[in-house]
Amino acid sequence: MTKTTIEAPIPGTFYRAPSPQEPVFKNEGDAVAIGDTVGLIEVMKSFTPVVAEAAGTLVAFHVENEEPVMAGQPLYDLEG
């Protein structure tokens, strides 16, 4: 089991769910497949999905919902 830290690809505001009324894309402990959406980053009112480029188990988020994130900042940890 190796742990990889995935970094935010772009700066903005991080969202864990498609909208406040909907469930989060991924919880800690969920399996992640390549192509899965893990969250959204809002850049200047435009929303970009954070898409997994590696598979594994999502063990931790480093950024809370609706919190600012900078490009290259650790976003989540994947174990696989």
Partner 1 sequence: MALAKIFVANRGEIAVRIVRAAKELGIATVQAVSAADETMLAARLADEVAKVGPPHASKSYLNADALIAAALETGCDAVHPGYGFLSENADFAAKVEAAGLVFIGPKPETIRKMGDKAMARREAGLAGVPTVPGSEGIVKDVAEAAAAADAVGYPVMIKAAAGGGGRGIRIAENAGDLAALIPQASAEAKAAFGDGGLYLERFVRRARHVEVQILGDGERAIHLFERECSLQRRRQKVWEEAPAACLTPEQREALCSSAVKLAERVNYRGAGTLEYLFDETTGEFFFIEMNTRIQVEHPVTEMVTGVDLLRWMIRIAGGEPLGLSQDDISLTGHAVEARINAEDPAADFRPHPGTVTALEVPGGMGVRFDTMLYPGYQVPPFYDSLLGKLIAHAESREAAIARLARALGELKVEGLPTTAPLHLALAAAAAVKSGNFHTGWLEEWLKSRPLAEGQPGTESEVR
Q: Which is nearer to partner 1, 43 or 55 (CB)?
A: 43
Indicate the residue among 34 and 71 with the shorter CB distance to partner 1: 71
Judged by CB, which is closer to partner 1: 30, or 67?
67
- 80: which 2 tokens? 């696989």
Opening angle at CA 56, ends 53 and 61, nearest 5? 85
In terms of Cβ atoms closer than 10 Å to its own Cβ (0-12, 13-18, 19+), residue 79 is middle
Binding site for partner 1 (CB under 8 A): 10-13, 42-46, 66-68
CA 28 – CA 44 distance, rounded (Å): 28
CB of 36 to partner 1, least distance (A): 23
